[in-house]
DNA sequence: AAGTTCTTATTAC
DNA sequence: CTAACGGTAATAAGAACTT
């Protein structure tokens, strides 16, 4: 889906259309601590982007419209959309509220057939939900995703199998899904060169990539060559459930910290009950004022994971952070590993 | 020595 | 002047701990 959260808000409130619109944390006149979730294309003209600190967004354009994230609404819209999308294939993999892969292997008319389906699907989504999206069609998930990014918004792009490798050649290595800022830097340092293209990265031996990145290195080697064998598969059950919270201001007051911490446990506990899940262990997260982030984990075997027993197990872990450091606390989190 | 659990780093949306 | 930065979840690697 194109600029999903912001596009939904435009649909709900057409007077926002044509104006810069930012969905995310409250900017609080420039002192907000959150980030931009999504923004529309008008906001992007000011240099605002997803993931950017909201304080920076506010500096770039204090007059933009700032709206909070209404996740319940977006989830509902997402469900309606992917109910439609799912009709086009037996196999669909939802990777986020606004993104999914469908497997169209074996269509009688190949890429031409896929293109026809994509057009139909876009039309149907627009008719039913008044929202635009972009479709990438290719022989594997990675190329389809990159193709999609290239033609946003409201686009369709087909990359024929024979073109997979050449399609990405001149792009920067960071276009490869799985290569983020750190991996990019490692590649730059290795080649002693900045802005490395995929073409240049292909000159790195497989052995060197494995030395640099371990198991992922071997996958990068294939990805640089347009290859990606990962299958389209439906999402499985969650392996962990957690909640975290960043304080308005860094704190040391353990009363305040524990109060918030208990509310996080309650939220997780409610979800556990709803889904009737057993848990393997609990994880407590603490981020200090300087952004140093630590976790403490402990196994949890009791049959009965009432709120009280979760408190009993996890509060001591939390208190350890406070005794082991004098720093103020920025964020705390609580997570359970389910089995 | 092998198996399991814990911690950190990185990525993605 | 520089860094600034959410919440949720997965995965990989290596350390630490058990058996």
A302 part of the active site: no
C-alpha span between A193 and A118 (Å, rounded): 40
DSSP H helical ranges for chain A: 4-12, 41-44, 54-60, 71-85, 110-129, 141-150, 164-168, 181-191, 198-201, 206-213, 215-224, 254-275, 307-324
Residue A152 backbone phi and psi in degrees, to 5: -70, 150
pLDDT band at A236 (very low <50, low <70, confident <90, very high): confident
Q: Calculate the angstrom distance between C1' of C9 and CA of A240.
A: 7
Q: Cα–Cα–Cα angle for A202, A207, A208, nearest 5°?
A: 65
With a cut of 80, say whether residue A85 has pLDDT above it: yes
C-alpha span between A31 and A278 (Å, rounded): 40
Question: Which residues from the 138-167 window of protein chain A have CB within 7 angstroms of nucleic acid chain B?
Answer: 145
A91-136 pLDDT tens trace:
999 999 999 999 999 999 999 999 999 999 999 999 999 999 999 9
pLDDT band at A306 (very low <50, low <70, confident <90, very high): confident
Question: Which residues from the 11-70 window of protein chain A have CB within 7 angstroms of nucleic acid chain B?
Answer: 51
A231 Cβ within 7 A of any nucleic strand B atom: no
Q: Is the omega angle on the peptide bond into residue A153 within 30 degrees of 0, that is, cis?
A: yes
A166-178 pLDDT tens trace:
999 999 999 999 9
Q: What pTM value is reported for the model?
A: 0.94
Question: Which residues from the 48-87 window of protein chain A have CB within 7 angstroms of nucleic acid chain C?
Answer: 50-51, 53, 55-56
Q: Calculate the angstrom distance between C1' of B10 and CA of A283.
A: 19
Query: What are the distances in angstroms from CA A335 to CA A82, A234, A235, A256, A279?
Result: 28, 24, 20, 19, 10
């Amino acid at each position: 889906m194109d600029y999903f959260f912001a596009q939904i808000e435009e649909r709900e409130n057409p007077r926002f259309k044509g104006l810069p619109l930012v969905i995310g944390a409250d900017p609080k006149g420039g002192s907000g601590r959150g980030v931009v979730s999504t923004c529309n294309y008008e906001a992007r003209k000011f240099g605002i982007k997803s993931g950017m600190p909201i304080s920076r967004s506010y500096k770039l354009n204090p007059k933009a419209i700032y709206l909070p994230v209404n996740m319940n609404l977006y989830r509902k819209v997402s469900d309606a959309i992917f109910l439609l999308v799912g009709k086009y294939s037996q196999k669909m993999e939802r990777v986020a509220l606004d993104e999914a892969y469908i497997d169209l292997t074996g269509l009688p008319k190949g890429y031409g057939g896929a293109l026809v389906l994509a057009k139909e699907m876009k039309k149907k989504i627009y008719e039913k939900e008044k929202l635009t999206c972009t479709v990438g069609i290719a022989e594997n998930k990675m190329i389809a995703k990159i193709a999609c990014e290239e033609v946003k918004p409201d686009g369709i792009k087909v990359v024929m199998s024979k073109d997979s490798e050449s399609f990405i050649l001149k792009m920067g290595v960071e276009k490869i899904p799985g290569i983020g800022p750190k991996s990019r830097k490692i590649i730059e340092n290795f080649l002693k060169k900045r802005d490395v293209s995929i073409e240049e990265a292909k000159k790195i031996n497989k052995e060197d990539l494995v030395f640099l990145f371990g198991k992922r290195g071997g996958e990068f080697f294939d990805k640089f060559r347009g290859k990606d064998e990962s299958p389209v598969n439906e999402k499985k059950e969650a392996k962990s459930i957690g909640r975290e919270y960043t304080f308005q201001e860094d704190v040391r007051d353990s009363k305040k910290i524990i109060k918030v911490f208990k509310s996080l446990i309650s939220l997780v506990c409610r979800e556990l009950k709803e889904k009737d899940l057993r848990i393997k262990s609990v994880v407590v997260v603490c981020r200090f004022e300087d952004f140093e982030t630590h976790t403490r984990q402990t196994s949890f075997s009791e049959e009965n994971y009432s709120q009280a027993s979760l408190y009993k197990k996890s509060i001591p872990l939390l208190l350890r952070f406070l005794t082991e450091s004098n720093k103020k606390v920025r964020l705390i989190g609580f997570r359970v590993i389910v089995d």
